[in-house]
Amino acid sequence: MQFLRRCALRSILDDTGDVVSRLFVGNFDFEHTLAAPGAEPSRVLRRKCAELSCAWSAVASADDVILGGGMPDPDFLPELQAMGFPEFRWETSPLNVDRRLDVCPWGWDPSVIDWCRRHGMRCNGPPLEIVRDVNARDFASHIESQSRTGLPGACRVCGLDDLDHTLRVLARATPGWVIKARFGMAGRECLRGRGHSLDAAQRTWVVTRLERDGAVFCEPWVERIEEISWQFDVPAPPSDSTGGAPRLLGATQLVTDRRGAHRGNRLLSGDQIAADQCAEWKPVIDIVTDLAGLAQRRGYRGPLGVDSMKYRASDGTVAVRPVQDVNARWTMGRLALELRRQADSDAHVGWWHVRWAGRQSPRDWYQALRDAGGASVRVVRTSPYEIDGRPVELGTLAVIGADPQAVRRVERGILGPTSGD
């Protein structure tokens, strides 16, 4: 606490009187709020939001404030700054925060708007109905329909009879299928199966989502080969601002484990993206850029992430799905992209999700990773070991280095075998 008190908030106004510093708010239950407005988050979800608040350390600049769900272990912030990260400020109560800061939530939803009003904070987000529409799978499905790039047989279904018919058709052509809810929740809220019918538990899951959202989305299962996350900054529509067109900030490779769970992101260099533009990713970039423009014309502004997938179909053919997911909010890929500030232009950069919980000594394990990288690799924990004295379950690590072999050595220590490696 003494260290935090010494981190006095510096000037938050520029020469024009505009606010330049941000207040990061970690409503990482954003999709839950979109899917079920007004629902009370569970204790587990609240704890997860508190732990993930530390992820803002990847993007926070000097004079920014992170509003955390508790106090990190006392070594966390000093260690980050010793590693070259900016001297941002950490607070646990909005009562200690200047009301003139720009509120920057994970995503704009009614709970954030209400929170801003209760505490007298600046509230400058896009219209909530636009946020909801762009995040819904209907928007991605529309783009796929217009560009004719969706998975063969994929469709939106609004009732059990339609779904049963769709599954019978898919069962004749593919080894499995995936049913997704209207709001994806970072890859969750989906049902995987095979065959031409649902069992009792699967049918209950689908009925619940149909009653809540009015539709589910059914598609064939395909083998994932590679996933790329494109990150945009979307200014206000040109009629409202001189901000101009959406800007592609960069791309990351999504890395998953053998079960398909997200493990982290590797940053793609400019040369890698340029090479991809000359091959299969060039049409994808055109499609996702048009998508960002459509979101802007509908009234959205702010961070936007679009995930694309290269896949192998059941007949062995390889193709690309340009619009796997659309996230009209901050994303882990966008936070990872901000780590470029900490790296030379030719460095290899990755940002990884790790399980502190269950390890006999997270500190010893972390030190072993740093030793494995040697002098050529920086391994930085961007999450604390503890919050309010309680062990953190899910943490994050940044790995930055010029030697690709040393970087991969550290990654193997973090990830083990992965489908994205």
- For residues 24 and 100, membership in a common domain is answered with yes
DSSP 315: T
What are the structure tokens assigned to 181, written together? 């809810």
* Domain-located, residue 329: no
- The number of distinct structural domains making up the chain is 2
Q: Which residues of the chain have pLDDT under 70?
A: 1-20, 185-187, 239-243, 269-279, 357-359, 417-421
CB–CB of 144/318 below 8 Å? no
* Domain-located, residue 187: yes
Q: How far apart are CA 45 and CA 94, in angstroms?
A: 20
CB–CB of 82/64 below 8 Å? no
- Domain end call among 178, 200, 221: 221
- For residues 156 and 44, membership in a common domain is answered with no
DSSP string across 350-387: EEEEEE-TT-S-HHHHHHHHHHHHGGGEEEEE-S-SEE
In a 13 Å sphere around the CA of 325, the CA atoms on its Cβ side amount to 23
Q: Where in the sequence is the domain holding 207, given as residue range(s)?
A: 152-221
pLDDT tens digit string along 24-44?
Answer: 999 988 888 887 777 777 788
* Domain-located, residue 341: no
Residues across the chain: 421
* Domain-located, residue 157: yes
CB–CB of 219/178 below 8 Å? yes
pLDDT tens digit string along 384-415?
Answer: 999 999 988 888 999 999 999 999 999 999 98
* Domain-located, residue 72: yes
- Domain end call among 161, 190, 221: 221
CB–CB of 194/174 below 8 Å? no
**Displacement of CA 98 from its chain's centroid (Å):** 27
CB–CB of 72/90 below 8 Å? yes
Helix (H/G/I), strand (E/B), else coil: 330: coil
pLDDT score recorded for residue 271: 60
- For residues 115 and 216, membership in a common domain is answered with no
pLDDT score recorded for residue 38: 72
Averaged confidence pLDDT in the chain: 87
* Domain-located, residue 238: no
* Domain-located, residue 298: no
- Domain end call among 125, 144, 173: 125
